[in-house]
Amino acid sequence: MSGVSPVPKEAREYQGRRAGLVSRVLAAAVDVLVVVVWLVGLYAAWVALLFALNPRRLSFPAVPPFVSLFVGSVAVMIYLTVGWASTGRSYGKHVMGLRVVGRRSGRVGPAVALLRAVLCVVFPAGLLWVAVSPQNRSLQDVLLRTTVIYDWSPRPRRVRG
């Protein structure tokens, strides 16, 4: 089946180009939503387990804000690291047709993916640098020599313009 492209016709001119701020913010919002839903599901499973162990004393355990913030941050870091190190995509990036690529436009390794995830969680405002960067790169991209590109294909592509 040569000649069949996984890239939508309307998107072909953007394939391989550096992604802009709006696409990246929307992808990040989807990623946060995915992790929040996952954590709410874990909390519900915990409550269900407590109910199964003692159905007469059902209560919803209070989770201190600091613990919620810490667990949420670690969950986001793990989620992003696994996605970026394996396929170059988190679910949000997949939905938006984006991919994180390394120096030579290839997949980023686990160490770079983890450092990038930590920087994104610790300093999310670094993403705003995309708005003023002539190369559409966030501060995390600049520090780690990564790039986020439009890529609808199953395998990573080279960066264009």
160 domain residue, yes or no: no
- More confident site: 12 or 111: 111
pLDDT digits (tens, 9 = 90+) for 70-103: 999 999 999 999 999 999 999 999 999 999 999 8
| Number of domains the chain contains | 1
**Three state DSSP letters for the chain:** CCCCCCCCHHHCCCCCEECCHHHHHHHHHHHHHHHHHHHHHHHHHHHHHHHHHCHHHCCCCCCCHHHHHHHHHHHHHHHHHHHHHHCCCCHHHHHHCEEEECCCCCCCCHHHHHHHHHHHHHCHHHHHHHHCCCCCCCHHHHHHCCEEEECCCCCCCCCEC
Domain assignment present for residue 2? The answer is no
Q: Residue 152 pLDDT > 90, yes or no?
A: no
Asked, for residue 46, whether it belongs to a domain, the answer is no
Residue range(s) defining the domain that contains residue 139:
12-32+65-150
Task: Indicate whether 135 belongs to any domain.
Answer: yes
Residue 27 lies in a domain: yes
Is 91 domain-assigned? yes
Q: Domain for residue 49, yes or no? A: no
21, part of any domain: yes
| Model confidence pLDDT, tens digit, residues 52-62 | 998 888 888 89
Structure pTM? 0.85
